Amino acid sequence: MPRSEQTSLFQSSSSQKSGDEPIEPASAKAHQPLAVRMRPRNLGEVIGQEHLLGEGCLLPRLIKADSFGSLLFYGPPGCGKTTMAEVIAEETGSHCVRLNAVLSNVAELRDVLRVARYQPDRRTILFIDEIHRFNKAQQDLLLPDVEAGHVRLIGATTHNPGFYVIPPLLSRSHLFRLEPLPEGSVVQVLRRALEDAERGLGKSHCTAQDEILLGLAHLCDGDTRRALNALETLVLSHPMGSELTTDDLSVFARERQIRYDNNEDEHYDTISAYIKSMRGGDPDAALYWLAKMLAGGEDPRFIARRLVILASEDVGMADSRALPLAVAAFQACEFIGMPECELNLAHVTVFMACAPKSNSTTMAISAAKQAIHQGPLQAVPMWLRDAHTKLNKKLGQGAGYRYSHEYPEAVSGQDYMIDPQTFYEPKQAGAEVAIGERLSKWRAMKAEIQRAEGDQG
Interval 406-432: pLDDT, tens: 888 888 888 888 888 888 888 888 888
- Give the Cα separation of 161 and 163 in Å (integer): 5
Contacts of the segment 97-105: beta carbons below 8 A, 24+ positions apart: 97/124, 97/125, 97/126, 97/127, 98/127, 98/129, 99/126, 99/127, 99/128, 99/129, 100/128, 100/129, 100/130, 101/128, 101/129, 101/130, 101/131, 101/132, 101/133, 101/134, 101/138, 102/130, 102/133, 104/128
Q: Considering 354, 386, 402, which residue would you say is the last residue of a domain? A: 354
- Whether residue 259 lies inside any domain: the answer is no
Task: Work out the pLDDT band at 254, boundaries 50, 70, 90.
Answer: low
Residue 58 shares a structural domain with residue 112: yes
Residue 170 shares a structural domain with residue 115: yes
Residue 429 shares a structural domain with residue 337: no
Interval 59-89: pLDDT, tens: 888 888 888 888 999 988 888 888 888 888 8
pLDDT at position 456? 66
pLDDT at position 182? 87
Residue 133 shares a structural domain with residue 243: no
pLDDT at position 119? 82
Instruction: Return mean pLDDT, the chain.
Output: 83
- Mean pLDDT value across residues 107-134: 86
- Whether residue 39 lies inside any domain: the answer is no
Residue % of the chain over a pLDDT of 90 = 18
- Answer with the residue of higher pLDDT: 2 or 79: 79
Residue 166 shares a structural domain with residue 191: no
Q: Name the residue range of residue 187's domain.
A: 183-254
- Answer with the residue of higher pLDDT: 13 or 128: 128
- Mean pLDDT value across residues 213-236: 86
Residue 169 shares a structural domain with residue 188: no
pLDDT at position 311? 95
pLDDT at position 255? 59
- Give the Cα separation of 107 and 98 in Å (integer): 15
Interval 347-359: pLDDT, tens: 999 999 999 999 9
- Whether residue 386 lies inside any domain: the answer is yes
- Whether residue 4 lies inside any domain: the answer is no
- Whether residue 1 lies inside any domain: the answer is no
- Mean pLDDT value across residues 439-443: 87
Interval 287-302: pLDDT, tens: 999 998 888 888 889 9
Residue 164 shares a structural domain with residue 236: no
- Give the Cα separation of 227 and 189 in Å (integer): 9
- Whether residue 23 lies inside any domain: the answer is no
pLDDT at position 247? 78
Per-residue pLDDT for 48 more than 60? yes
Residue 143 shares a structural domain with residue 226: no
Residue 58 shares a structural domain with residue 162: yes
pLDDT at position 439? 86
Per-residue pLDDT for 12 more than 60? no
Interval 13-33: pLDDT, tens: 333 333 344 434 444 565 788
pLDDT at position 354? 93
Residue 155 shares a structural domain with residue 81: yes
pLDDT at position 259? 64
Of the listed ranges 148-157, 330-339, 387-396, the least confidently predicted one is 387-396
pLDDT at position 343? 93
Residue 75 shares a structural domain with residue 120: yes
| 310 contacts 352 by C-beta, under 8 angstroms | yes
Per-residue pLDDT for 438 more than 70? yes
Number of folded domains in the chain? 4
Residue 147 shares a structural domain with residue 226: no
